[in-house]
Amino acid sequence: MQVSAKITSKNQITLPKILRDKLELGDSDKTVVFNISDDKPITIEKPKTNNLWDIVEEQCKKYGSIDTPEINWGPDIGEERIN
């Protein structure tokens, strides 16, 4: 299937409805990703949502976990007073 869009004088295009539906883009989506390669056609995709925990999981996979075991400092002796 081929879909066309006009380019405005400001070099902008509006993504046709059929393309927005195919990519499942909604009113809140403000960005699309263009994948450009020398030997492949240009593709457009909806960016992955990056909430905090998605980013944490991605970083954990890339760099490993930074979790450390809780340090046991022993029983509390009393309160500290600094003069």
DSSP code, position 9? T
> Residue 21's pLDDT is what?
93
Burial 12-23 (b: 16+ CB within 10 A, else e): eeeeeeeebeee
Which structure tokens are listed for 70?
A: 């809780």
Name residue, tokens 């905090």.
52
Whole-number pLDDT of residue 66: 77
pTM as predicted? 0.51
Confirm if 16 and 3 have CB atoms less than 8 A apart. yes
34 pairs with which residues across the strands? Answer: 44
- The terminus-to-terminus CA distance of the chain in angstroms comes to 80
* Ordered per-residue pLDDT tens for the chain, 83 residues: 889 999 999 999 999 999 999 998 888 778 888 999 999 898 999 887 767 877 788 788 888 887 777 888 888 777 777 87
